[in-house]
A and B are shown apart, each in its own frame.
Chain A
Amino acid sequence: MRAPDAVAAGDTLLAVDNVSLRFGGVKAISDVSFDIRKGEIRAIIGPNGAGKTSMLNCINGFYHPQEGRITFKGETRRRMRPYVAASQGIARTFQNVALFKGMSTLDNIMAGRTLKMNRGFFWQLLRYGPAMAEEIAHRKVVEEIIDFLQIEHIRKVPVGKLPYGLQKRVELARALAMEPELLLLDEPMAGMNLEEKEDMCRFILDVNQQYGTTIALIEHDMGVVMDLSDRVVVLEYGRKIADGTPDEVKRDPRVIDAYLGVAH
């Protein structure tokens, strides 16, 4: 399922250099640099309003930073549209679930394959010959993802009727359907109960190990972040205040001050 390896494991897959993002007078991100290595799980943490989601939005081309460069697979770009980012292998999920509520789980995940469809609209409309063959091939990939994330039982249920934890899982499934090289997860565990969180952790690890997908995630649950991630970057008021392994970050006095707090 992995895209052809342009970048070897451990090398830099994505580099963010001196990126700044302003909305009018508000500085959302100022002069942030970090990198994401191929095959790792990279966490971005920080207090509310630190610019984490803005950072993800820059990476997948939804926002365009005024300064700085983002290099993906060795290719530097200044202005990028989200669908181009998607076709290059960057997929994401959203903080507030953004699925097609009236469509079934299966259709939602199939939607994740849109960019991989070769036949045009009219072929699809015919559902015959090559279009059918293509549909079957895509369906197979989707079924494997459904099996992988254990959502067989909701295959045909409209996602609007599903509980929140399952919707998050469907969103992950849709992102996986793109067979991404870099998967951006925006608070994949927000609002979940303990059991759902544990399931989600296991799925994220499995995706990373089985498919070799590089993952960048934003998450507030410190236990989850420290257990899952290989490296952590910490933002505060749009600035990077720390970067390193979970252990290093945990001990960093500035991080404790800004985010983790002190045990009283």
Chain B
Amino acid sequence: MSPVRGAVADTFPKLLMHHARARGDRPAMRHKDLGIWQSWTWAEVADAVRAYAVGLSRLGLKRGESIAIVGANRPRLYWTVMAAQMLGAVPVPVYADAVADELAYVLAHAEVRFASVQDQEQVDKLLSIAERLPKLEHMVYDEPRGLRDYDHTRLHSIDDVVAEGRDALRTASVDSWLDGEIAAGSGEDISIILYTSGTTGRSKGVMLTARGCIEAAADTVAFDRLTDRDEVLAYLPLAWVGDHYLNYAQGLVAGFCMACPESTDTAQADLREIGPTFYFAPPRVFESLLTRVMIRMEDASAPKRRMFHYFVDVARRYGEKILNRESVPLSGRLLYGLGELLVYGPLKNVLGFSKIRVAYTAGEAIGPELFSFYRSLGLNLKQLYGQTEAFLYVTAQPDGQIRADTVGPATPNVEIRIAESGEVLFRSPGQFKGYFKEPEKTAETMTEDGFVKTGDAGFFEPKSGHLKIIDRAKDVGRLRSGALFPPKYVENKLKFYPNIKEVVAFGDGRDFVTCFINIDMTAVGNWAERNNVVYASYQELAAIPAVYDMIAAHVDEVNRSLAAEPGMAGAQVKRFLILPKELDADDGELTRTQKVRRGFISERYQPLIDGLYDGSPEATIAVEVTFEDGRKGNISGTVAIRDAAIHPDVAEAAA
């Protein structure tokens, strides 16, 4: 075994066997089943995975072949990843909520011969696209419900496969053969192929080596001082690099315990029960949590509400300073301590944040107020920047250097360079080996000296040395007047209001900025309930004039703040409308990671954009929507357009 920086072994199966020896009776995995948390120790996991690997190899899985994994975060699906890696096969996790067509593309491209799936739903989905997957031979499943009457010649229950492997392992020769297979794995092998979410077209298969994965994970485990006493809740999509990195790779490097939620819908409740010490969530999760907290406080009794607002104000003044170990007057500390007892502690407990030592957020810009709200409660929330091609981390904020508007300096052993075009380039230990079967795309993404192009525009802040990401490099545009138009910047400012869920801004090459707005059903629906406003659907709620008034007030505030910033006055929103439907990944309007697909949306809603720019008070639209089963329907209607006031450029007037 060649030496690996920061870890004891160069492949994940070797790490698993190491933990089984070193901390065999520490918990490695948990899963809530029938309402009770079930735990497996490292020794038990290693045992099950060994048996599973033998079972899979009896079915015919061989070194170098790939096995698809489709489903939610469940121990048996993680075991599939480990078992495949034991045999030197390549696991290919796929987004479980992907529609059949997306799934077919990825599985055909990855040439999978095996698939490990969660339940009947996924089995049906794969069977429905079977003719597009000529190489697919065997499917194994976790959840037997509803599958009893299926043809079981090519379909097997994971438990049966494990049991068969366990039987075979009683023979000493099989046992030593498996040890040989594990030892034969090397750090240079492809450890996993992760498909990108497809923000920019078709998904690409990112090949990562075992050594890269482990060295990158070892760096951040040291950076955040993670140990085998830590605990995480694995609720992020299995196919996303974040889950594979933060939970799987870091877990196997540090030897901490990974808990799997009972189901996708229970993650919030499970979080409270598990009380993880390391946590990651995209900004929108923090946002919707805060919205829910605020809504519930609105409904609380007056004394509670007053107490909440008083102490949130106290936290705003002292909380972040205390977390950053800055000097705070004694009275402030005492008040904060009282607040911890009465408000922050109970609130963190309800949210499942009580034991969190390190929390990260990434993927989108996070509102400064939102960010400081959580930090002021004493939650050590930090930002990182990364992508699948880097095996996640490129930059991360070290403790004590936390800012809402930057993503921090480069993580250890990562080099970053800014190209002349403003694009961020990096070279990192976890950096990918290439896109699977697409060498020309790989070449496009790499510079000659081995740096990876991120596609994001950014710059280093001279004072702090932190990286600041503005937008996708190709998205930053200009108005016809020449004024700068960074769409994301404008959108994010609007999205920081709880009533607004999603915004799509237009303005590149136009005379002024306009935008589409999606209202937040939870927040606005609650407002409607409190004000006796009757509605039956999103479409109806979105068309109510009083809702428009509320949103218009938010737009006005954003315009005012844009006017006050140097160079941003031109980006004020002149006209807006509220979309009659929620943007949805099933309709191709968002990516699976819930990012807006701007180009697609502007084509689909062309008549509405025309309305925004030709000055008419309303516009008519008819769009096709896709239901989860693939059937299609139509939404049509007339959408009102509002004008917003443009504020004079304060920054310029002052100058």
Contacts and interface: CB of A to CB of B under 8 A. Distances in A.
A210 B265 contact: no
Interface residues of A, number: 19
B146 A153 contact: no
Contact of B627 (A143, A155, A195): A195
B627 A194 contact: yes
Contacts of A153: 262-263, 265-266, 269
Interface string B110-151: 000000000000000000000000000000000001101100
Given A206-B146, A210-B145, A140 B34 contact: yes
B35 interface: yes
B149 A152 contact: no
B376 to A, nearest CB: 30
Contacts of B263: 150, 152-153
Interface in B35-62: 35
Contacts of A144: 34
B266 A152 contact: yes
B34 to A, nearest CB: 4
Contacts of B34: 140, 143-144, 146-147
Nearest to B146: A206
A198 B146 CA distance: 15
A206 to B, nearest CB: 5
A209 B146 contact: yes
Contacts of A206: 145-146
A148 interface: yes
A200 B419 CA distance: 55
B420 interface: no
Given A153-B263, A153-B265, A143 B35 contact: yes
Nearest to B631: A194
Given A153-B263, A153-B265, A209-B149, A146 B35 contact: yes
A143 B37 CA distance: 13
A141 to B, nearest CB: 10
A140 B266 CA distance: 19
Nearest to B144: A210
B629 interface: yes
B399 interface: no
A210 B629 contact: no
Contact of A152 (B146, B148, B262, B629): B262
Contact of A210 (B33, B148, B627, B631): B148
Contacts of A147: 33-34
Contacts of A194: 627, 631
Contacts of B33: 147
A152 B265 contact: yes
Contacts of A148: 145
Contacts of A143: 34-35
A149 B466 CA distance: 49
Interface string B169-199: 0000000000000000000000000000000
B167 to A, nearest CB: 28
B176 to A, nearest CB: 40
B101 interface: no
A153 B51 CA distance: 33
B628 interface: yes
Nearest to B268: A153
B581 to A, nearest CB: 15
Among A144, A146, A147, A152, the most chain B Cβ lie within 10 Å of the Cβ of A152
Contacts of A146: 34-35
A148 B262 CA distance: 13
Contacts of B146: 202, 206, 209-210
20 contacts: A140-B34, A143-B34, A143-B35, A146-B34, A147-B33, A152-B35, A152-B263, A152-B265, A153-B262, A153-B265, A153-B266, A155-B35, A194-B627, A194-B631, A198-B629, A202-B146, A206-B145, A206-B146, A209-B149, A210-B146
Given A153-B262, A209-B149, 19 more contacts: A143-B34, A146-B34, A147-B34, A148-B145, A150-B263, A152-B35, A152-B262, A152-B263, A152-B265, A152-B266, A153-B263, A153-B266, A153-B269, A156-B269, A194-B627, A198-B629, A206-B146, A210-B145, A210-B146
- Which A-B residue pairs are the 7 nearest by beta carbons? A153-B265, A143-B34, A153-B266, A143-B35, A152-B262, A152-B263, A152-B266
